[in-house]
Each structure stands twice: as C-alpha cells, then as structure tokens.
Amino acid sequence: MISLEYIAGFFDGEGSIFPDWGNNEVGVTVGNRVLEVLTLIEERVGGTPHTDSTGFTRLKFTSKGSMRNVLTLLLPHLIIKRRQAELALVFLSTPPKPDINKLLRHKILLAIEELNKRTRRMK
C-alpha cells in the first residue's frame, strides 16, 4: 500500500488546492500522466479520475467529505501546500450562511489564491 507520506509529497508537487470561483467553493485535485500512481493514490485516499484528450489524468475530490478526508490525511505530511490545506479545511467547516460566514469564506479563498501565486513564483 502506498504511504500517506509519499502521497503528500506527490501532492505537494502535482496537487492543487484552489478557489473554484464559479461555485464559490474550494477545489482539490492531483494529476499526472502516470495512471498507475494515480490509481494507487485513489485506492488509498479516494478521488474520482478524469482523463483529458491529451492523456493527462486528474483525481478530483468533489464532495466536501472527500476533500476533508484527503486534506486531513495528508496535512501532517504536507510541506509546500500545508497552509492552503489548513485554509481549505477551515473553509470546508464554515457553513455558507449567515452573511458573516460568506465574507469569511471569500477571504479564505482569496488567501488560498495568494498562496498559490507565491508558490508559482518560487518555481
């Protein structure tokens, strides 16, 4: 069985935690062209595979439960995406109502977006 430490390292390099502005939600995916690795990850932490026309496959975590599960499992082992995962977990545990929570959730998405920009500049 593939270890959570390995998956976290893979996720730090190939994963994504991002604002889904169209749905005012957070998104969590991990992708690669090596289907065997993604299959091992799927067996260990879940996710739904989606392959595009170029052969690139992403495991998508689409339900709040699946996102919470994978982020909670990987959080102790994440390095690069640790802060985004922490913020995403806060976002996922904050109901969209009342209005004060809508503002908080929006600010969390903005913070995740900013962290992603900083991470891209580091590459």
Q: What is the mean pLDDT for each group of 10 consecutive residues in the chain (123 residues)?
A: 97 97 94 95 97 95 96 98 97 86 91 92 69
What's the pTM?
A: 0.91
Pick the closest to residue 26 from 78, 86, 100 (CA basis): 86
- Residue 15's pLDDT is 97
Residue 45 near residue 74, CB atoms below 8 Å: yes
For the chain, the domains span 4-122
For residue 122, give every residue at least 6 positions away whose Cβ sits within 8 Å of its Cβ, in sequence order, or none: none
H or E element in which residue 50 lies: strand 48-51
Topology annotation, domain 4-122: Endonuclease I-creI (3.10.28)
- Residue 101's pLDDT is 84
